[in-house]
Amino acid sequence: MKSKAAIVGVAQTPIYKEFPNSVLDVALDVIGRALKDAGLRKDDIDSLVVSPSTLGGPPSFMLSCSLAAHLNLATRHMTLVECGGMTATVALKSAIREIESGRSRRTLVLTMDHREMLNPKDVDGFMHNTVRTQTCLYGVYEGPYGLGAPIPYYAMSAQRYMHEFGVSARDIAEVPVMMRRHSANHPDALYRDPLTVDEVLGSKMMCPPIHLLECSAFAAGAAAVVVAHPEEARSIRKDAVDIVALGEYHDPSHFVPLRGTITSFISARKAAAEALAEAGIGPMDLDVAEVYGVFAATELMLYESLGFCEPGKGAVWLKDGRSTYGGDVVMCPTGGRVAYGHPAGTTPLFELIEITRQLRGEAAQRQVPGAGLGMVHSEHGMLNGSMVLVMKGAQA
């Protein structure tokens, strides 16, 4: 396995309901801590990639430029990247490509999602503020129907999944139960209390068949990562983690494809197949993975599309204990999007930071013993596009 680039410094905020300070305060905090984690100084950085300050919110016009000016950071490459839920990994890929090309040696990636309009005490206000964004997001032919969030699409996907494969509501409710067992070991997770299947099924019905406790929680957060050239990564940090493979595929659809299926995701299949082939491994060679399952049923369909089990068998794979500690591959040791929390604009880097910590062997109570190979999956739309990274640590 050849290293494309290496992760030498990481930092993240806790999962917030909203930022405790300004965007700039939070950005400077994670940048400073990522540099410290790498043992580098600000001027060791030679390129900068940032996300918008939130997905679908107020403009982030020239944010990378103003941030670099504020930092007094000269760069050889600088850009702002947006690709829905995949924003953070597309930003990371921009850094990886810059390093692979040889133009940059140490790239800083900053991603964030401040969700300033998300006040849980004022849902009407939130909807008022987001009506134009939501309408435009779903487009000229679906936006006019007044979707307030993407959950109806995922609900119909879950309904078809149950219909086509005979998966029961109880089967799906096992997902948040497992996720809470994992998140109990993560001090920053949004939800850490244990859950039962009956509690999940007794929670509020959101869009049938999706219950409240099967949803990922909108959240805020920020992350910064320092990516270095493989030749010098180990002189920066002995336990640098290598990105050894990358797969990416975008189906030409936005939420529901005109033709095809909504119970299996071609983008995840193709991105995983490409990345695993490049790494020269099968899915069961992985020790740990963080995947972008934003609802419980979606998580199961993702296990299948990524190749961990056969179509329709995600719940069986989970129930048999194969998706957790002592099984085949530990899925989402953070508790995933459902229990850990989901600041969409930065979620993929939160996933990558967890895999980095696992492969460094510093994941404390949630450490997967001997973790050497990990996967990060991210997506946009309703899995219309996916990126899969394979990462390798010293224990591989």
Site residues (CB under 8 A) for other proteins? 123, 127-128, 131-132, 134-136, 139-148, 151-152, 155-157, 159-160, 163, 206-210, 252, 256-259, 262
Least separation in angstroms between residue 204's CB and other proteins is: 9
Least separation in angstroms between CB 126 and other proteins: 10
The number of helix segments (H) and strand segments (E) in the chain equals 13, 10
Nearer to other proteins, 137 or 195 (CB): 137
* Residue 157 C-beta: closest distance to other proteins, Å: 8
What are the structure tokens assigned to 38, written together?
A: 């790498």
Least CB distance to other proteins at residue 163 (A): 5
Q: What is the distance between the alpha carbons of residues 346 and 91, in angstroms, rounded to a whole number?
A: 10
Beta bridge pairs of residue 331 = 289
Shortest separation between residue 120's beta carbon and other proteins, angstroms: 13
Nearer to other proteins, 96 or 206 (CB): 206
For other proteins, give the closer residue by CB, 142 or 199: 142
Alpha carbon 267 to chain centroid, angstroms: 15
**Residue 131 CB, nearest distance to other proteins (Å)?**
5
Please tell me whether residue 154 adopts helix, strand or coil conformation. Answer: helix
Q: In what order do the strands lie in the sheet with 330-331?
A: 77-80, 47-50, 106-113, 221-228, 5-12, 241-250, 385-392, 373-380, 288-290, 330-331
| Shorter beta-carbon distance to other proteins: residue 262 or 344 | 262
Return phi, psi of residue 112, to 5°: -160, 165
Minimum separation from the CB atom of position 205 to other proteins (A):
8
**b (16+ CB within 10 A) / e for 336-374:** bbbbbbbbbbbbbbbbbbbbbbbbbbebeebbbeebbbb
Question: How many Cβ atoms are within 10 Å of 183's Cβ, its own excluded?
Answer: 29
Looking at the Cβ atoms of 194 and 208, the one nearer to other proteins is 208
Residue number, 172 or 391, with CB nearest to other proteins: 172
3-class secondary structure, 230: helix
Cα distances from 2 to residues 38, 220, 242, in angstroms, run 22, 35, 9
For other proteins, the closer of residues 143 and 230 by Cβ is 143
Element (H, E) at 384: none
Q: Which two tokens stand for residue 124?
A: 């009407």
- Strand positions, DSSP E, the chain: 5-12, 47-50, 77-80, 106-113, 221-228, 241-250, 288-290, 330-331, 373-380, 385-392
Q: Where are the strands (E) in 92-173, listed by range? A: 106-113
In the complex, what is the shortest distance from the CB of residue 161 to other proteins, in angstroms, rounded to a whole number? 10
Minimum CB distance to other proteins smaller for 265 or for 308: 265
Nearer to other proteins, 218 or 325 (CB): 218
Shortest reach from residue 372's CB to other proteins, in Å: 41
